[in-house]
Amino acid sequence: MQTKFVRVNANDNVVICCQRISAGEQVTIGEQQFTMTTTIEVGHKVASQAIGLGEKIIRYGVPIGSATTDIEFGEHVHLHNMKSDYIPSHTRQSRVGE
C-alpha cells in the first residue's frame, strides 16, 4: 500500500497528508497499518506515535507547538488538540502595534 503521508524529518512525531483520506480508509503510517477515524485533507497532520498532554509537536525536526490533550497514534493533529508555544510573538506584536 502506497503511503499517503510525507515525514519531513526523522525526528517528527507527526506526518503530513499528501492526498485526501476519507474516514474508514486503510492507510500505512510509518510501518503500521491503520484505519483512519476521521477524514484528513492535504497538508494536515496526523500523529505518527502517541503524544501525551503537554508534549511538543515535532515537525521539521523542531517543536511547532504542544499537545493540549493526549493524542493517539493516527489521530488528526490540529487546532483542537494542540496550541502555539509562541506567546512572546503576540506580546511583542501588540507592543509594536501601538
Partner 1 sequence: MRGFKRADGRKGIRNTVVVAYLVECAHHVAKTIVAKVDHDDVQLIGFPGCYPNDYSLQMMEKLCTHPNVGGVLLVSLGCEGFNREQLIGTIEASKRPVETLVIQQCGGTKSTIDLGVAKASAMLGDIASVERADLDVSELVIGTICGGSDGTSGMSANPAVGVSFDLLLAQGATCIFEETGELIGCEQIMAERAETPELGEALLACVEKAEHYYTKMGYGSFAPGNAEGGLTTQEEKSMGAYAKSGSSKINGIITPGEIPPKNGLFLMDVVPDGEPMFGFPNISDNAEIVELIASGALMILFTTGRGSVVGSAISPVIKICANPETYRNLSEDMDINAGSVIDGNHTVEDIGQQIYDCVLKVASGQQTKSEALGHKEFILTYKRFNTSDTTTIEAIGPACLAH
Length of the chain: 98
Site string for partner 1, 7-36 (x = CB under 8 A): -xx------xxxx-----------------
- Rounded CA separation 7/69 (Å): 22
Site size toward partner 1, by CB under 8 A: 36
Kindly list the distances between the CA atom of residue 19 and the CA atoms of 10, 74, 89, in Å, as whole numbers in the listed order: 21, 15, 32
Q: Does 58 bind partner 1 (CB under 8 A)?
A: no
Q: Does 43 bind partner 1 (CB under 8 A)?
A: yes
Q: Does 77 bind partner 1 (CB under 8 A)?
A: yes
Q: How far is the CB of 29 from partner 1 (least distance, A)?
A: 13
CA-based nearest residue to 34, from 21, 19, 51, 18: 21
Pair 40, 17: CB distance under 8 Å: yes
> Near partner 1 by CB under 8 A, which window of 30-38, 47-55, 89-97?
89-97
Q: How far is the CB of 73 from partner 1 (least distance, A)?
A: 18
